[in-house]
Chains A and B, each alone.
Chain A
Amino acid sequence: MSFLLVALLLILSLAACGSNNGNDSSTGTSTGDNSSSDSGNNGKAANDSGSSNAASGKEVVIKFPSYKTGNNVGAIFFLPQIERFNKKFAGKYKIEIEEIVQDEYSKKIKLLYQQKKLPPLIEVDKELADIMINNGDLLDLKPYIDNSPAIKDVLIDDSVKYNTDKNGKIVSLPLAFERPIGMYYNKQLMQKASLTGFSDTWDGFFSDLDKLKAAGVTPLSLMTGENGWTTMLLASAMIASDPEGQQILTKGDIVTNFNSPLWINTFTKVQKLLQDYTTKSALGATYSIAANEFFSENTAAIANGPWMVADFSNTDKAAEGFADNVGATIYPGGVALGSADGYWYSIPTGTPQGEVDGLIEYFKFIYSPEELNAFLVAEGGFAPKMPMPEESKAKLNPIMRQLNDEVGAKMKTLNRLIYDIVPQSVADLFAKNLPLLATNDMTPEQFCKAMTDTAEKFKK
């Protein structure tokens, strides 16, 4: 009988362990993994704990994932900036970054949202933002922004408008800067084809590519692996130079039908680029491979954002003096990419107040004149409401300066990327089908039809 009692005690203790674990998980939320929409016990526990930490004068640790880590070019400025913040607010707030690759970031955030385990700071794409806004799961930043002139005064009006929902809540931190995405070219290789830059029209651009090819230079660094980034940028620029395309991108609604001449013509051109004007390695190439082709002077040009400029002088990636040989331009048709109409940092509701306060301090910090200027010097772009001081301008990389000049002189439209207006399923399919376009196993019509079918299939 005593055996029986022992066995029963064992089972009961196991059950008790199980219930303890449950409590542990709610305690866990207080250390960072908080509930986004759950206003139940867990959320309350998290709130209480976060507030009590702040109130008791204990350092509040704010932990969130970021893709601007590791080899990501964004890490060069982002991580030291976090360190500067932690140093400034030592003893009060501490930000800890969890590393995640860029390609997987938005998927991870979606999964965490479904599990109600969102971190205190997230970047949302339009698709997820729409759902979270509808469910009231994003914290209203308006009261905090209204109380912080340091933030409010530098924000771009269009970005504030975009980030304000129908109830007047500001659901994501509006941008204070614009960073036009353009193209970079190798001046020496261009010179081989007697070119000093690319033409302002798409016909002229293709003719320039022909000239480069005739001179024995592979014109473009393209990629079909990962998310097909550099290829997608050129496709976005083509869409943005067409009046109908410009309208679609400006409107920003999610597109689910790609069976139109606009998309088919664009992907016909993309197919030509992949078949005639890029390296053999482009098939399946990741960003690092595409970039390496440019750094190794195997290709004449690459499309990317100004954050890439720092890499041109990085001797781990490019030869000494390579940066002196690089020029910058925007796309034909006066197109630059990277509109300020987009979502950026959001705080899920249910985030402990102590962490919210810390994040507001972080927003003030990154939008302070010193930090914002340092950011623009490091990663390019401009802040319309905060002109760059002369000393910062003097520090500006010549390639960035050239890009800024090009934007000032030629830009007719600064618009969104294709990925900003397509569902996740289409973005995934885009990268999966690009190799078929390159190898002629798929026609542009079939490519567009496949995107339409996928978008329709997962249409909510």
Chain B
Amino acid sequence: MYKYNKLWVYLFIVPTLLVFVTFYFVPIITVFTTGFTEWNGFNPPKLVGFDNYKMIFTDDNSLTVSLINLFKWSMIATFIHVPFGALVAFIIFKRPVGWRFVRGVFMIPNVIAVSAWAIIYRFIFNDQMGLLNNFIRKLGFSNFHTNWFFDMKYAFSAISFTWVFYAVIVTLLVLSDLMAIPKELHEAAKIDGATEAQIHWRINLPLIRGSLGTSVILSIIARITMFEAIFLTTKGGPGNSTYNISVMLYDGIINYQFGYANAVATIMIILGIGVLIITTKVFRMNKSVYN
């Protein structure tokens, strides 16, 4: 009987394994191995050892700039994006008047493609016809002119603005965790004389740390792979002020350096794994919430 069940288990795992191997594992191995080759996409790859990595780490400051920008965006993701999403979840959790409306409105940006958002923001931040500048000029600053995406001082913030307040994934994750907290816990705390703030701080927050950790992971990984919002607005400029590792990868592809691009992709994968490990440790996600 046990053998028979085992056979069934393997049989149902096979399609998933096939999909994983074909669409994930093989491409990852290909990316990793071709990162050690010179490959222009037209001719067969030629093994060059660590040349691509040497190029990435020593040729110019592209990687340094990308990592600095990634660090800054990760900080924004961790300390603004995720808390904002969590805050909305806490508000919705209390079910004030119109909470369903808020949840619906908060959802809208997420059903619009990132590329579409990038285009929308190009118009919002445009100097001549942009909503923002026209509003500022209407306020009485008639000579106000700033092209947010193309001014070194503002481009980074402008790009950050395209995603920082769209945190519905965080909200949904946190909300589902909040709703899963047994009501008895809250009632017991109230009987013991705990205030609202104390309930949030001592009970709710510790119990949603798993979803907060997941949100941080998702959010930082989204920053590592962020491409459309940058490419369709600043293309990483002006200068390198909004450059990131995804644009670096694209530059490799468009300049026929597939080996280089795949070495960059390998670094992206390593960064992603690093984020996963660190966040899991920080949020103690591998331990029970009641520990």
Contacts and interface: CB of A to CB of B under 8 A. Distances in A.
B124 to A, nearest CB: 13
Given A4-B11, A283-B127, A435 B238 contact: yes
B255 A424 contact: yes
A429 to B, nearest CB: 9
Given A4-B11, A432-B239, A224 B150 contact: yes
Contact of A432 (B59, B127, B235, B258): B235
Contacts of A111: 253-254
A383 to B, nearest CB: 35
Interface string B225-239: 000000000111111
B145 interface: yes
A258 interface: no
Nearest to B143: A280
A338 to B, nearest CB: 25
B237 A433 contact: yes
Contacts of B256: 110, 131, 458, 460
A14 B42 CA distance: 32
B274 interface: no
B152 A439 contact: yes
Contact of B40 (A11, A131, A428, A432): A131
Given A283-B151, A439-B152, A114 B42 contact: yes
Q: Is the interface of B mostly helix, strand, loop or mixed?
A: loop
Interface centre among A135, A283, A433 (most CB of B within 10 A): A283
Interface string B123-137: 000111000000000
B149 interface: yes
Contacts of B41: 113-114
Interface in B23-41: 40-41
Interface residues on A, range: 35 or more
Contacts of A428: 235, 251, 254
Contacts of B145: 280-281
A125 B167 CA distance: 43
Interface residues of B, number: 34
B60 A453 contact: yes
Nearest to B129: A289
Interface string A198-225: 0000000000000000000000000011
A284 interface: yes
A441 B154 CA distance: 13
Nearest to B56: A457
A45 interface: no
Contacts of A7: 11-12
Contacts of B150: 224-225, 283-284, 435
Nearest to B62: A457
A113 B42 contact: yes
Given A433-B239, A435-B237, A458-B257, A281 B151 contact: no
Nearest to A453: B60
Interface string A273-296: 000000011011100010000000
A431 interface: yes
Nearest to A128: B256
Contacts of B147: 281, 283-285, 435
A442 interface: yes
B237 A432 contact: yes
A129 interface: no
B55 interface: yes
Interface string B78-121: 00000000000000000000000000000000000000000000
A110 B254 contact: yes
B120 to A, nearest CB: 16
Given A284-B127, A424-B254, A425-B255, A460 B40 contact: yes
Which of B12, B40, B145, B256 is the most central at the interface, judged by chain A CB atoms within 10 Å of its CB?
B256
A436 interface: yes
A12 B12 CA distance: 14
Nearest to B242: A432
B255 A289 contact: no
A457 B237 contact: no
A280 B14 CA distance: 62
Interface string A376-393: 000000000000000000
Contacts of A65: none
A11 B15 contact: yes
Contacts of A225: 150
Contact of B239 (A11, A37, A135, A442): A442
Nearest to A435: B238
A311 B265 CA distance: 45
A107 interface: yes
Contacts of A289: 128
Interface in A409-431: 423-425, 428, 431
Contacts of A431: 235, 237
Contacts of B11: 4, 7
Contacts of B253: 111
Nearest to A7: B11
A352 B239 CA distance: 45
Contacts of B234: 432
B239 A441 contact: yes
Contacts of B238: 432-436, 439, 441
A107 B55 CA distance: 23
A131 B42 contact: yes
A436 B241 CA distance: 10
B127 A281 contact: yes
Interface string A434-452: 1110010110000000000
A330 B150 CA distance: 30
Contacts of B42: 37, 113-114, 131, 135
Contacts of B149: 284
A296 to B, nearest CB: 10
6 closest A-B pairs by beta carbon, nearest first, are: A284-B150, A432-B237, A114-B41, A284-B147, A435-B238, A458-B255
17 contacts: A4-B11, A7-B12, A111-B254, A131-B40, A280-B127, A281-B147, A283-B147, A283-B151, A284-B149, A431-B237, A432-B234, A432-B236, A436-B152, A441-B238, A442-B239, A453-B59, A458-B257
Given A441-B239, A453-B59, 10 more contacts: A7-B11, A114-B258, A280-B127, A281-B127, A289-B128, A436-B237, A439-B152, A441-B152, A441-B238, A460-B256
